[in-house]
Structure 1
Amino acid sequence: MSSDTHRVLLTGANGFIGNHILAELLSAGFSVRAVVRSQAKADTILQTHSNAGRKLDFCLVADITAHNAFSRAFESKEPFDTVIHTASPFLYRDVTSNEDLLDPAVRGTMSILYGARDHNTVKRVIILSSIAAVMDYSEAAPKDGRMWTAKDWNPVTRDEAIRAANYSTVYRASKTFSEKCAWEFMEEQKPHFDLVSLNPPMVYGPLLHSIRDISQLNESNLRIWNLFLDSSKDLEMPPNGVYWYVDVRTQDLALAHIRAVTKPEIGNRRIIIAAGSVTSQEIADILRSAITTLAESTPIGKPGEDTFPTNGYSVDTDTARNVLGLAFRNKEETFLQLARQLLEIAKRT
């Protein structure tokens, strides 16, 4: 792998994160084939990336979990050296059973890996995983805190995921199982390419693509809308949830994917991509102090109070900072720019 021009096969390009990755790939001068499920999605991507020209083409794959789903996607006069897999079934509103999240995530990941195995020009496969595959969520308040690292795995079992009463647990399991299957594939198949897994926590930030209304938001940004922008000043402050986060854009997660394409030294590694921690009170304080129109719709809580858990965890970002060279945006920039965009979307609908 080098910093020369690359030919990249990208799945999930029409998604919140995928759109930003695509923009960074094109900006870096790479040639990209975006795998999408329909021509309508391809048309939408072209509207967002109207200056891509010949650097962008498409392959329609209606079902990425089907047998040999990516056979046609890999057929190209200009062969692919890199695959970036971001497609994932993570929209709670579309889920009717726990299997709807579990099985497609695993099958989609394995399908792209088998497709890459059959094309010897591929040198690296990059999978967008999650901190959900790293953390043990049963440790709500780990003694004396702890640092999660790339060596850690979420210990959730399939039986626990099937019986889970909430989709958050099932989503975490889907990311865990799909990433584990990828590493098992590497061990068993010993393919000609290496594997890189990027594991971000909560991903926030402005959308690059257009949406008709707030209901089309991705899950993390929808959380900001529901809990902080379309709420009430008198409501209790929302729980912190996963309080480590990263911005979706360049400097942060999107740039991490570009660096993952070009740096040979990160082959066969998991890398946590996180900017830092932020509490619900901090988010509310940032928004209320800068956007006066939120006076009635953003919870007040206890302004300025440190609500970081006493036994709060941290995550290891050394590789992201020192090897990938990421600097990360500050939290004010992330949440203010996101909030202003969401308020504009709501205003016009």
Structure 2
Amino acid sequence: MIAAEHISEFGEFNGEKVHCISLKNKVDTVLRVLTWGATWHALELNDKNGTRRDVIVGPKNFKGYQQQTKKQAYFFGNTIGRYAGRIAERKEIRNGNLASLEFENGVHLHGGLNGLHNKIWEIVELNSGEEPSVILGFESANLEEGYPGNLSIKVNFSLSAQNRVSISYTATSDSDTVLNLTNHAYFNLGDNSVEHHACQITAKKILETDEKLIPTGNFILTAGTAYDFYKSKELSQIKQLGGLDTCFVLDQVSSQLKLFSKASGIKLEIETNQPAAVIFAPKHIAFASEPKNHLWSEIEYPAICFETQNFPDAPNHPNFPSSILKKGETYRHETSFNFNLIQK
């Protein structure tokens, strides 16, 4: 078990203490996770020059998280659910088992205003050793935020000796429901804008969306477009698009997503069992409070987020992978984030 000194108070939310759990491996990399929102707060590691970096973009303290939620939610590092992404308000939804969902301007986003990102999770288990880990749990009541079924969720954050961060979700429900979980961490591996990072996305198509970013049910081929990252290239081409907020349909190969900063030598490779990744790279992030690195609030394209998940709005599209979790079945979502150093 991990000693008490690896758990520290980080703030208070609705009268409950928020804790930060710190996991450290043998090469002094530190993964920090908050009990509020099962949030990936930090990953501190050495770059190719031995400089210490925190590659997770977000607020410096819990006050910053709270102020951000009230001003403009960016869901920094949060666990998102019960349904990550958007669900459109359509007649089929209103007449089906999602009749109680709340919609704003016809859209239900990221599980609602008080989704899993805005809850205190329980520390279920803490482990040390070669791969320190923490398991957090949450019991979501029937019809919470409009979703049917009493849902029992666990998430395991682990850190390997080789700087692999693994996030694994499992969940069961006592009645049929829909479920689509993800983590919303933002990354910046270098000194400046992520537009100078190299990126590879093994996806030949993206979801077509309307003006509300709701999928139409159609797909767009990426080849020859500004969305084509099938071969590694600089992210600078996203300036043509004004940023990214796009669902890429992933090929089922190893390391579907890659990100590299020549300045730091840090390379991130992401592998998931999910069919898609919503990739979000905003032109600006309007921090409500002090970020951990002041540059993030001053530069364009300060971060990129890889939301590995099922397709947004899948309950409305029978041609999309099913998001239904049946009573008695177990939902499993596994994503690994592998951090390596490239010296050249």
Q: TM-score, normalised by structure 2?
A: 0.27
Which structure's residues are more often helix, by fraction? 1
Higher strand share: 2
What TM-score, normalized to structure 1?
Answer: 0.27
